[in-house]
Structure 1
């Protein structure tokens, strides 16, 4: 692939757009109030122990980083959006967790090869636009024999369906950008990691979300707090008819998912081990 000046500039612009999008609204509230259980689930699957060097890629406000630090890991939480890291640092201090926070692009991590015992990402790296580049970085910075742990929304699950619902209302993605929910397909992640990993285990699980008693509660919360949703609505600011159509589509999606005041959101939890040089 030829890395031209135009391509580099386009990539910088795309990353700046992503950084801005995730700073919209209040993603830390989503992580804290809606999906808090995901981070501990990933940390448990990675079997993080005291003294393990841990990198959390696209860590956001620390949904997985903080539990990993509380488990004894020497954690570095990295993310493209510094506003999220700032909130995470405050939450870590409030919970008595000590870790390092660093701004970093998941597709170009500023760390040496084979630096970490565990490299993980909790519904984070899936939003990097170039999947192979991000996967290559996950593998590169993990030591041979170390653990790579990923937790991502599936295409068929509620959040995957939410992105499918948003897609017709959003601007077309730039050339080369891939849909985030592909990271929730085990065969896709296996192909990205390739023969550089062994002992791959993938499990589809669900998180129970009981914060929203009515579909309209989900709609209003995600319109106010979730960056990708906010960005799509801003794109529709001058089109009340399409705004109303998106309101209806998201309300219908939530209505179909709500059962007795709760929803089950599906995700893929995948762990693998970085191959050793002498592995067959």
Structure 2
């Protein structure tokens, strides 16, 4: 690994250690892991790898379905939270620290390889896609659930861009993984039976846009990192505060309590062979 790439991975690991992503995943989007497991039709004793697993939003439901699950993530703090959650439910998951762009597994080692709003944050998309397919056996299945560019989280990253530290050259925007044409190009002719559909998850935890802003400012690693990048620039912090409130406001569904529908792409495919 070059010094530049090592620094990038260190930065990525640090961003997701900020705030409290396990709480975000549990309180806002817990249903998405089960949605992906259901879409992949996971059955007992299948060998399943959850890539960029975080705290196990998909890995734990896969294990509850009886699969033999390995959950891999770059950030040790997320894995620790996942171990605790799995232990509380009495399910067996193998937790492993590792890089989505260089998976430490043999070719064809898994029956199902999946990722739930995880692999999209690896910086080099083709490298990650190649690894997902490499470790899946011929005839095995791949399942991906990722935020779309036009959906709420895609808009969030566009909103953050002026305030966040600029990414190094060659790093691709995470929400591209929510574009079916982009993902199709990454996977190419190595997969068949591709099914892709856009869906939404309803988020209604927040009473007001300001409450959403404060929650993400405290808990969502990329937002925390963007605020830290602004340092003591009070004017820029105020601008970012305002933009996050406006983002939530324009995405509200109806009057009253803040309710939002966050769009994602659910894609499943089968490896050739």
Q: TM-score, normalised by structure 2?
A: 0.98
Query: Which of the residues 132, 148, 163 maps onto 1:138?
Result: 132
Aligned to 2:172: 178
Deviation digits for residues 106-162 of structure 1 (CA, Å, limit 9, x no counterpart):
000000000000000000000000000000000000000000000000000000000
Q: Does 1:208 align with 2:205?
A: no
Q: SS state of the match for residue 28, structure 1?
A: helix
Give the Cα separation in 2 of the matches to 1:170 and 1:87.
Answer: 26
Q: SS state of the match for residue 107, structure 1?
A: coil
Deviation digits for residues 60-95 of structure 1 (CA, Å, limit 9, x no counterpart):
000000000000110000000011000100000111
Q: Does 1:125 align with 2:119?
A: yes
Give the superposition deviation at 1:97: 1.2
Gapped runs of 5+ residues in structure 2?
none
Give the superposition deviation at 1:49: 0.2
Residues paired across the two proteins, number: 270
Query: Which of the residues 32, 38, 45 maps onto 1:38?
Result: 32
Q: SS state of the match for residue 30, structure 1?
A: helix
Q: SS state of the match for residue 169, structure 1?
A: coil
Aligned to 1:9: 3
Aligned to 2:265: 268
Give the Cα separation in 2 of the matches to 1:111 and 1:66.
Answer: 20
Aligned to 1:66: 60
Q: SS state of the match for residue 113, structure 2?
A: strand
Deviation digits for residues 198-248 of structure 1 (CA, Å, limit 9, x no counterpart):
111101000000101200111000000000000000000121111100110
- Match runs of 1:1-280 below 5 Å: 8-260=2-254, 261=257, 262-276=259-273
Give the Cα separation in 2 of the matches to 1:40 and 1:136.
Answer: 25
Runs of 4+ in 1 over 2 A off after TM superposition: none
Give the Cα separation in 2 of the matches to 1:133 and 1:174.
Answer: 16
Give the superposition deviation at 1:259: 2.2
Give the Cα separation in 1 of the matches to 2:208 and 2:65.
Answer: 36
Q: TM-score, normalised by structure 1?
A: 0.95
Q: SS state of the match for residue 162, structure 2?
A: helix
Give the Cα separation in 1 of the matches to 2:220 and 2:10.
Answer: 17
Q: Provide the alpha-carbon RMSD of the alignment.
A: 0.8
Give the superposition deviation at 1:266: 0.1
Give the Cα separation in 2 of the matches to 1:197 and 1:214.
Answer: 43
Give the superposition deviation at 1:39: 0.3
Give the Cα separation in 1 of the matches to 2:207 and 2:90.
Answer: 33
Q: SS state of the match for residue 20, structure 1?
A: helix
Q: SS state of the match for residue 159, structure 2?
A: helix
Give the Cα separation in 2 of the matches to 1:60 and 1:15.
Answer: 15
Give the Cα separation in 1 of the matches to 2:90 and 2:35.
Answer: 20
